[in-house]
Structure 1
Amino acid sequence: MDAFNNFLLLLDSYLGSAAYFPFVLLGVGVFFTFYLGFPQIRYFKHALKVVSGKFDKKGTDGDTTHFQALATALSGTVGTGNIGGVALAIFLGGPAALFWMWVTAFLGMTTKFVEVTLSHKYRVKTADGTMAGGPMYYMDRRLNMKWLAVIFAVATIISSFGTGNMPQINNIAQSMQASFGFEPMLVGGILAIILALVIIGGITRIAAFTSRIVPIMAIIYIIGALSVIFYNVDQIIPSFVAVFADAFTGSAATGGFLGATFAYAFNRGVNRGLFSNEAGQGSAPIAHAAAKAEEPVSEGIVSILEPFIDTIIICTLTGLVILASGAWNQKYENVFARSDIDIISGHYSDQNEADRQTLYHYVNDTQDNTILKYDGVIEVRDGRPINDGFTILHARSVAENVRFIVAGEDPYNGVLRVEQGQLKKQDITIVGESLLHSAALTVKAFSMGFLGQKGEYIVPISLMLFAFSTAIAWSYYGDRAVVYLFGQRGVMPYRILYVAGFFVASFTDTTLVWTLSYVAIVLMTLPNLFGIMLLRREMKDTVKAYWQDFNADKIKKD
């Protein structure tokens, strides 16, 4: 597993974590924002009218209403990225990462408008009478690039597991275990059965389910978030100041947080922004292709609302909860994840300014780094290290009160070998105080409001609703990709495999699952961005024709 994870990290270094990727993603958004005249602003009010059904016509081809398509697409985007993803972005890049998530969302509103419009325009009716669409169809039917369409469809199937399936149930299972003590395998088994019952009904049942659950889960989460934000009302303005002040400089060290470079904040903010709202990834167009709409542009306009709701509203609330509560830069008792442990040579303290500067260069992997990974031994007595010459880092912070435990509860006694910063003995549990990240950080932050410790239960409940609905939506995305590649005969085997993967991921290592998602996202995004850029002129002409027809109809009615 370690070898496979390292291979995925190598791929990610050339894809989502590469220096060029954020510029490509944002560049396309900037281009279309200016090219189409800021549609995310000019068409926002119209989008609200369209999604309300004001312009609906009876007898229009499609399987879902505008609202159901929006709800399905939102259920695909509102998931672990809004809860764990925001926390991970702040953990890695500091408050500045939230700023770049906002930028990604604002530009992503236009990108999503373009990809949804083009995908809806070239959708097809399948053998069973349902609609099928997505970037693979405009790549095939309009660009005559079947090879690109095949790449995208294959990437969609992979991403349905790496983005919509595995990370979702993994986070659900881990949070339910942490909050309620439920075994991950039990949680995975029960939800896998419910998942199977929903997705077997296809888009009709999926749309009906998501259109009911999305509003409910949003209300629960928003109320819980506001209870923390207003409890820490004096920290709201300082939180916003930190977000904007550090946007172009990187975040300074504070508390247990050792600081982050601008590049780290920028890259992680954009990367997590994409994981959250999926603008440019090409996933949401698959859901919108099923909508009952004669004009593709009208459905594209509806999709403008997605990044706004997903990132500008929900991710901002999560970010403010984490920043205003102060949970993001404080250390808490936790069980150390092996993948987050790094043992370095020398003794360092984050209470010493010179040490903080040195550690800053190490955790951010700058050219000024002088720290070496530790090779040697750790002598342990009654569970605690007694020799010197090393520092244990966990979650990019200096670990404190570290204990080594065996058999679940007994303090370890003996000598532990460390090679290249990694502990060789595998049957050791390490406990101590360090920073938290991902869903665990959000859980802690939600306990620091009006609801006290009870507030932390909002996160696992919301996460279960968010992530489960995401898994349902992504089953449909993969479903349509399978139809494109193999026809209707491939749907049932895919659904069986999807449910099986969902169950297995409930007790799979978190790091491996998240790393897979990093790679899968970009394998969809790059071909889609390439495709919509090729169709930029057609997009502009299509939008122009829509407004000409819309205004003409309006004059006739008046």
Structure 2
Amino acid sequence: MDIFNSILDGITNAVFYSVTFGDIRIPLIVAWLIIAAIFFTVYLGFQNIRGFKHALDLVRGKYSKPEDAGEVSHFQALATAVSGTVGLGNIAGVAVAVSLGGPGATFWMIVAGFLGMSAKMAECTLGVKYRKEHPDGTVSGGPMYYLRDGIAQIGKPGLGKVLAAAFAVFCVLGSLGGGNMFQSNQATQQVMDVMGASPDNAALAFGIGAVFAVAVGLVIIGGIKSIAKVTEKVVPFMAVLYITACLVIIAVNIGYVPTAFGQIISGAFSPEGAVGGVIGVLIVGFQRAAFSNEAGIGSASIAHSAVKTKEPATEGFVSLLEPFIDTICICTMTALVIVITGVWTDEATIAAGGVALTSSAFASVVSWFPYVLALAVVLFALSTMLSWSYYGMKATGYLFGDNKTAENIYKVIFCLFTVLGAGLALDSVLGFSDAAIFLMSIPNLIGLYLLARVLKKEINQYRNKIATGEIAPVK
């Protein structure tokens, strides 16, 4: 196991190569995502603000037509994609951000979520535009297809194929790491904690991981339709459960809320004792937000590509809601709970890391709240694993010519990694999770830049159709 952890650490160090300015270390991959998020926010004309209401209308079904090609509704596509982002990154990841960068990291997570809405819109619009519809009615889409086919249309077919293949490989690795092992690891830790079991009990950890693997396997056999049916029910329930618990904790400590917000704002611009000063806290916040909402990574466009629509831009608007729900709402709730309860200043609790920090915050208010958190953690983890199994399956299918046998073999491997992740050390799992997922952003964002004009034209055409009444709400 030590050898495996060493391999994971080596990959992580290579991916997160940093440039040092004085005492500040800036991972180039994080800067890559920040620049892209800012670019698409400005280039698309702040659609993350202007298109928000329309996104809600689309999710409510005001423009839906059942006869359109695709497999799932706008709401189901959003629920599936959200289930892939609203995972342990919202609980354990936020805890890591606050413990490393202090309360100020929360502010930059929110900023990253706002900017990330535009990057998410870009990749999901193109995901639908270049998706592949199969004779049996199923759909394959995502970065693999717009990198290959979209870039070929602008006269660079060789480059498109290379970028598409690279993305697919990274996606498979990301699905096994951040979309699977990290989720299994943290969910297992929380279950063992509420059971009062020793964290060193490897047999129990792998046993819990096996239970998760069976649960995931039973759902993913049916593909996107089966996954969507589960996520459209689980995602609203788990979000309401978790947010309600957070609101209770905030209500009990209502008098500390102004102080907490003050710490978040002041810490964002003048952190004391935080890693690397202001820029260091900014980087921590953006890195954890990117791991949480995956804007610019390209993963969510795989799920959104299965939507029933003939207008690619519709799903781009719907996808705006993902970073808003994931980062601006749920991550902020987690951070507030951690800051308000003060557990982030307890060195012993910080040393426990990850979800243990959030669990301590819950327990500080109501002794049995960690059980509520345990349920939320399990639901968050399972829903994330369901979505990422689909992402990895489609990436595997692409690599093997949309071969169904290859996709089925991948499903078995995915379930085995669920068990493996349950018993690995957190540091190695978290590092590899970040590395594999962030690698996806390299070919994905290169493609988005190359297809920026195509993207903008698609969105503008759609907005014109809405403005002229050519596309009207369904009565």
Q: What is the TM-score with the length of structure 2 in the denominator?
A: 0.91
Is the contact between residue 15 and residue 29 of structure 2 (CA under 8 Å) also seen in structure 1?
no
Which of the residues 200, 218, 233 maps onto 1:212? 233
Partner of 1:196: 217
Which of the residues 11, 26, 46 maps onto 2:14? 11
Which of the residues 170, 182, 186 maps onto 1:155? 170
Which deviates further from its counterpart, 490-499 or 179-188? 179-188
Shift in Å, 1:126: 3.2
Which of the residues 258, 272, 280 maps onto 1:252? 272
Which structure is higher in RCO with an 8 Å CA cutoff and minimum separation 6?
Answer: 2
Partner of 1:315: 331
Is the contact between residue 15 and residue 522 of structure 1 (CA under 8 Å) also seen in structure 2?
no
- Structure 1 554/457 Cα, relative in aligned 2: closer, same or farther at 3 Å? same
Shift in Å, 1:27: 1.4
Which of the residues 187, 190, 208 maps onto 2:208? 187
Shift in Å, 1:553: 2.8
Partner of 1:439: 355
Is the contact between residue 252 and residue 260 of structure 1 (CA under 8 Å) also seen in structure 2?
no
Which of the residues 64, 80, 91 maps onto 1:83? 91
Are 1:527 and 2:443 counterparts? yes
How far apart, CA to CA, are the structure 1 residues paired with 2:18 and 2:64? 41
Partner of 2:200: none
Name the amino acid aligned to 2:383: S
Partner of 2:133: 125
Shift in Å, 1:128: 4.5
Question: How far does the alpha carbon of each residue in 1:460-491 deviate from its partner, in whole angstroms, 9 at most, with x for none?
Answer: 11110001100000000001111111022311
SS of the aligned residue for 2:91 comes to helix
Question: How far does the alpha carbon of each residue in 1:116-157 deviate from its partner, in whole angstroms, 9 at most, with x for none?
Answer: 001110000236431010011011001021011000000000
In structure 1, stretches of 5+ residues that fail to align are 335-394, 396-434
Hey, which of these two has a bigger chunk of strand by percent?
A: 1
Is the contact between residue 92 and residue 268 of structure 1 (CA under 8 Å) also seen in structure 2?
yes
Is the contact between residue 9 and residue 428 of structure 2 (CA under 8 Å) also seen in structure 1?
no
Name the amino acid aligned to 2:267: D
SS of the aligned residue for 1:53 comes to coil
Is the contact between residue 123 and residue 131 of structure 1 (CA under 8 Å) also seen in structure 2?
yes
Partner of 2:105: 97
Which of the residues 12, 29, 43 maps onto 2:51? 43
Name the amino acid aligned to 1:464: V
Question: How far does the alpha carbon of each residue in 1:175-227 deviate from its partner, in whole angstroms, 9 at most, with x for none?
Answer: 10011246222211112111111000101100000000000001110111011
- Structure 1 533/454 Cα, relative in aligned 2: closer, same or farther at 3 Å? same
Are 1:139 and 2:147 counterparts? yes
Partner of 2:72: 64
Question: How far does the alpha carbon of each residue in 1:389-427 deviate from its partner, in whole angstroms, 9 at most, with x for none?
Answer: xxxxxx6xxxxxxxxxxxxxxxxxxxxxxxxxxxxxxxx
Partner of 1:379: none
Is the contact between residue 102 and residue 312 of structure 1 (CA under 8 Å) also seen in structure 2?
yes
Partner of 1:324: 340
Partner of 1:492: 408
Are 1:240 and 2:261 counterparts? yes
Is the contact between residue 66 and residue 291 of structure 1 (CA under 8 Å) also seen in structure 2?
yes
Shift in Å, 1:447: 1.3
Which of the residues 414, 419, 443 maps onto 1:503? 419
Are 1:456 and 2:382 counterparts? no
Is the contact between residue 113 and residue 324 of structure 2 (CA under 8 Å) also seen in structure 1?
yes
Question: How far does the alpha carbon of each residue in 1:15-47 deviate from its partner, in whole angstroms, 9 at most, with x for none?
Answer: 798433333212111111111211010010010
- Structure 1 556/525 Cα, relative in aligned 2: closer, same or farther at 3 Å? closer
Is the contact between residue 110 and residue 328 of structure 2 (CA under 8 Å) also seen in structure 1?
yes
Partner of 2:22: none
Are 1:226 and 2:242 counterparts? no
Partner of 1:301: 317
- Structure 1 472/239 Cα, relative in aligned 2: closer, same or farther at 3 Å? same
- Structure 1 157/9 Cα, relative in aligned 2: closer, same or farther at 3 Å? closer
Name the amino acid aligned to 2:91: I
SS of the aligned residue for 1:230 comes to helix
- Structure 1 555/7 Cα, relative in aligned 2: closer, same or farther at 3 Å? closer
Rg larger in structure = 1
How far apart, CA to CA, are the structure 2 residues paired with 1:167 and 1:277? 15
- Structure 1 19/235 Cα, relative in aligned 2: closer, same or farther at 3 Å? same
Is the contact between residue 92 and residue 260 of structure 1 (CA under 8 Å) also seen in structure 2?
no
- Structure 1 556/206 Cα, relative in aligned 2: closer, same or farther at 3 Å? closer
SS of the aligned residue for 1:491 comes to helix
Partner of 1:107: 115
Which of the residues 432, 452, 466 maps onto 1:536? 452
Report how many residues are paired.
451
Which of the residues 102, 112, 124 maps onto 1:116? 124
Which deviates further from its counterpart, 141-150 or 120-129? 120-129
How far apart, CA to CA, are the structure 1 residues paired with 2:325 and 2:421? 28
Is the contact between residue 183 and residue 385 of structure 2 (CA under 8 Å) also seen in structure 1?
yes
Is the contact between residue 100 and residue 266 of structure 1 (CA under 8 Å) also seen in structure 2?
yes
How far apart, CA to CA, are the structure 2 residues paired with 1:310 and 1:553? 32
Name the amino acid aligned to 1:150: A
How far apart, CA to CA, are the structure 2 residues paired with 1:501 and 1:74? 22
How far apart, CA to CA, are the structure 1 residues paired with 2:276 and 2:27? 16
Which of the residues 357, 378, 383 maps onto 1:469? 383
Shift in Å, 1:297: 0.3
Aligned CA RMSD, in angstroms, stands at 1.9
SS of the aligned residue for 1:241 comes to helix
How far apart, CA to CA, are the structure 2 residues paired with 1:9 and 1:543? 36
How far apart, CA to CA, are the structure 2 residues paired with 1:127 and 1:15? 47
Partner of 2:188: 173
Hey, which of these two has a bigger chunk of helix by percent?
A: 2
How far apart, CA to CA, are the structure 2 residues paired with 1:155 and 1:15? 20
Shift in Å, 1:436: 4.1
Which deviates further from its counterpart, 237-246 or 160-169? 237-246
Which deviates further from its counterpart, 469-478 or 454-463? 454-463
Shift in Å, 1:259: 6.3
SS of the aligned residue for 1:212 comes to helix
How far apart, CA to CA, are the structure 2 residues paired with 1:192 and 1:28? 36
Is the contact between residue 113 and residue 327 of structure 2 (CA under 8 Å) also seen in structure 1?
yes
Shift in Å, 1:239: 1.1
